[in-house]
Amino acid sequence: MANPFAKSKLFHRLGHVTNTLPLRLLPTPTGITIVTTTGRKSGLNRRRAVRAVRDGDRVYAVSILGPGADWVANIRTNPRVTVKLGGTTFSAQARILTDDAELARAAAIYHPVAGWYDYVDYANFVWAIPTTTSVLRAHDEWFKHGTPVVFALEVT
C-alpha cells in the first residue's frame, strides 16, 4: 500500500522533526545530507534532511515534493547553502538541474542504493517492505517526478 500522505507538506514536516533534528546532532548516514538554506521570507537558517548522493565535489538531491518544497524555493531565492555529509559541513552553491545531459548524469548517480538509510526512506514513503529492486525503482521515480538539485561543494 502506498503512503497516502507522502506528497503532503504535513507528512514532510513531521519527517523534519523525526529526521532532521536528530541528524543535526549526529553524523549523517551515507546517502543523507542536512541542507541549510536561508529562508526566503524570514532570512533565518532552515535545515532539512534530504537523500543525497555525493560524486566528487558535487552532491545530488531530489525534492520529492517538486519545486513547491520550501527548501527548493529557498534555493531559488538564495543558492548559497551548507550541506552536512557525515560529520563534515561544506559550503556549497545550489542549483536546480535543467540541462538534459546533466540530468542524465545526475539520474545515474542518484539511482544506486547509497546506504542503509535508503531502505528506511523507502519504507517510510511507500509503506512497503523494501527490496533492493523496489528501492531502485523508487529512486528513479523520485528523480523523474521530483526536482533534481545539485550542490557544488566548495572544497578547500
Please list the pLDDT of the chain residue by residue as tens digits (156 residues): 566 666 667 666 666 666 777 777 788 989 999 999 999 999 999 999 999 999 999 999 999 888 989 999 999 999 999 999 999 999 999 999 999 999 999 999 999 999 988 998 888 878 889 999 999 999 999 999 999 999 999 987
List the end-to-end C-alpha distance of the chain, in Å, as a whole number: 46
Residue 73: per-residue pLDDT: 96
Q: Name the one residue in this structure whose C-alpha cell is 535508503.
A: 118
**Amino acid identity at 141:** E
Cα 35 to Cα 60: distance, rounded to the nearest angstrom? 11
Right CATH number for 9-153 from 2.30.30.360, 1.10.1370.40, 3.30.70.260, 2.30.110.10?
2.30.110.10
What pLDDT does 117 receive? 86
What b/e string do you get for 64-88 counting C-beta neighbours within 10 Å, with b at 16 or more?
bbeeebbbbebbeeebebbbbbeee
**How confident is the model at residue 5, as a pLDDT?**
61
CA distance 63 to 71: 8
